[in-house]
Structure 1
Amino acid sequence: MQQKKTLSNWLATRYQLVIRNEENFAEKTSMAFTYSKVIFFSLILFTGLFIMSLFMAKTILARWFDPKHEQLVLNQQLLELANKVDSLGIEVERKDQFISNLQQVLSGDTSNFKDPAEALRGENQPLNRPADLHASSTDSVFRKEFERSGMSVIPTSSKYRELQETFFYSPISGFISDQYDVKKGHLGVDVVAKVNEPIKCIADGTVVFSSWTQDSGYVIMVQHRGNLISSYKHNAQLLKKVGTFVNGGEIISIVGNSGELTNGPHLHFELWYNGNSLNPEEFVTF
């Protein structure tokens, strides 16, 4: 009587798979196996395929076919862009406010500031935005009184030794026709040069003002490190825009005769440090 096989016997029974040549029945290879090994390796293969399928469904296939995944990615990108736009908006607003302050100082309108020097330092916001950039007669009188008081003159040179030790490029070669004189309200130097002579930036910095004013014509202003600002007036042409970074010695404009307060081609050059005017001849060689 044949003995009945149990499940354990069925799983442990050894079999041999022989592969032969169909033409001459020559044995090519053989492989021994049991059903337990077949089931074990099948489970491992199934588990591996299942895990790989889940991974692909959550990553690669989701990117290809799932619209929710694409929408989620777009929402994240929109959120990042919104944050960047908010940051840029704040920076642009601050820069516009600073440029507005500079325009007021250039035109002589300092009535909207508690302290006129704060307009260039950028430490105070104007109380009211001016309707125009041209100074009234009252503002001009106030400006002259402020300049005569000596508040715009650097009190001591030792405090600004770092500027004296810094190398500045000459903006233009020529002779000085009108020197720096606070008492006369002349807060810069006038340098006469040849027509169409290029004007160079005295040091590395960023252009904070590049436009036309009624009194000074085409004006370009560059902010350097250490709260130093250089101003170039009466230009014939401006070559740099606001926000452009320029290197020391780089050409930024062309000498000219623009504006009402001029009587010939020349450069009116000013230096401002922490809201105070400097004598350019003490720092720059012309």
Structure 2
Amino acid sequence: MAKKTKKRKEIKRKLLHKYRLVILNESTFEEKISFKLSRLNVFVTGTLCIIALIGFTTLLIAFTPLREYIPGYSSTKLKRQATVLTYKTDSLVRRLNYTNRYLDNIRKVLRGDIENNEVSRDSLFGKFKLDPSTVDLTPIKQDSLLRAEVALEDKYNLFEQNTTNTDFILFPPISGIISQEYDANAKHYAVDVVAPKDSPVKAIANGMVIFAEWTADTGYVIIIEHKDGLLSIYKHNGSLNKKQGEVVRAGEVIASVGNTGELTTGPHLHFEIWNNGAPVNPTDFIDFK
């Protein structure tokens, strides 16, 4: 027991034993600074310094941009930027796919080519058109009551307006004699209208010019995009009055009749109408006389 007590006193004496740290001038041996230290003070001071250094380093990394240089660490800003870039990339991909499909349609219009397996809207209507003779058109009681109710409401409707949609009225691009009719079986998706050379060619409706260039087969060609997926194409022109990107109004002069291109036999206008990627007969909508 006495040995243990003596050993403890010896350890305590060593820890609390004072040492003097003196800083001297090397030339004159003049004492500049002196410190009284003990082993316990040195241990405690060193431990506190290490803890303070660790805390300062942690704060420096956590609240400064230095944390972004730590492998495996991703800041909130970087995550937000990555998310935004992902959305932009996805939007660009969708836009690119839409543009490619749109350009494919324009390319088909210029070539006048349709794949065999492509089905037009008119063919679908013809296929699923019902025969009125097979349908029982005898009005039922509920139908008669509804008709009477609607008629009564219309009779006393003071705010009735004309709901006829005139936006789909198409103006004739030119007046003349049709030399070749629309023939889908022969892949002639247009009407050829004979007219004097340099006669003005007009836009059939409001729209924007999306193509106005020279082609070897059909000469000067101008294509106008209208609303609701409608395209009007004018080929074999003698000259063009509009450029790509210009907005035109219905009835505005956009070109002149010519005889340009390898596939022409005289001054005339080769005119096509495409609706949502499928050709339609222009004479169903326009009177060229």
- Length-normalised TM-score, structure 2: 0.49
Q: Which has the larger radius of gyration?
A: 2
